[in-house]
Amino acid sequence: MMVGRFAVIVRVLALAGSLAAKTKAAPSTGAMPTDNLLFAGLLVGVILIVGGLIYFPALALAPILEQLSIR
């Protein structure tokens, strides 16, 4: 069990090391900068929307199902 656990960790660390060693590419015209407030706002907005869409059906159906189970 320990060998299986550490094998995955070693592979992930090797991948992270190879990605860290790469040279940084120059931004192109289609690249969105990730170090400004617009990106942070869009990221938080997408997370909230996706989270809301995941939990909304359960929150919306619970009162309906509770009302139907009372009768």
Contact 39, 33 (CB under 8 A): yes
Q: What's the whole-model pTM score?
A: 0.53
Weakly modelled stretches of the chain, pLDDT under 50: none
| pLDDT for position 31 | 87
Length of the chain: 71
Q: Which amino acid is at 38?
A: L
Structure tokens at 6: 């550490």
**Among 35, 58, 39, CA closest to 47:** 39
